[in-house]
């Protein structure tokens, strides 16, 4: 489990990177059927672009909301507008979109299939801890928000 001081986005990058490398290795060792290119690559590029936009939107929304987007710092405000109206974790969602888009760009079915591992890893290693911290810090305000907005989408 992460400590309060550990840079959590680093943990996310490690989770994403590990699954991505495992997917690349599996693609080289056990080549899956090729996905239909260039359609998959166009869709992959769109996912990467959308992921970057979601992350940028979330970071700007947090900064405007008076809290740092640095997940290792204690939040100073509960942000519920912008992309946080649709997902409690839009930055991690953006990371996932970039990951899946990268898999499609590389035409690697294994990378795309390992996206489920990315979701599980981010949820268990980081998001559950974040949710506990937010509930401790913001109490009923966070519980109401959590009941209204889904974890991912």
pLDDT at 145: 98
pLDDT at 8: 56
Enumerate the domain spans of the chain. Answer: 39-148
Q: Which distant-in-sequence residues (6+ apart) come within 8 Å of 45 by Cβ?
A: 101, 105
- For residue 133 the two structure tokens come to 């911290």
- CA 5, chain centre distance (Å): 20
Stretches where the chain sits below pLDDT 50 are: 1-6
pLDDT at 39: 87
pLDDT at 1: 40
pLDDT at 94: 96
Cα–Cα distance for residue pair 43/64, rounded to 1 Å: 31
Query: What DSSP character marks residue 126?
Result: I
pLDDT at 98: 96
Residues 16-56 pLDDT 10s = 889 999 999 999 899 888 777 788 899 999 999 999 999 99
Cα–Cα distance for residue pair 91/151, rounded to 1 Å: 12
């Amino acid at each position: 489990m992460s400590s309060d001081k550990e840079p959590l986005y680093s943990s996310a990058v490690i989770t994403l990177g590990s699954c991505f490398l495992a997917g690349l290795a599996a693609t080289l060792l056990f080549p899956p059927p090729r996905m239909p290119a260039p359609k998959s690559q166009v869709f992959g590029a769109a996912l990467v672009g959308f992921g970057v936009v979601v992350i940028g939107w979330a970071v700007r929304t947090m900064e405007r909301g008076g809290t740092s987007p640095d997940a290792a710092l204690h939040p100073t405000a509960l942000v519920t507008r912008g992309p946080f109206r649709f997902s409690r974790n839009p930055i991690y969602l953006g990371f996932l979109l970039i990951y899946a888009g990268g898999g499609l760009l590389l035409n690697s079915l294994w990378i795309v299939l390992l996206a489920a591992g990315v979701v599980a890893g981010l949820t268990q290693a980081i998001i559950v801890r974040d949710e506990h911290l937010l509930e401790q810090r913001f109490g009923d305000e966070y519980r109401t928000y959590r009941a209204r907005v889904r974890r991912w989408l």
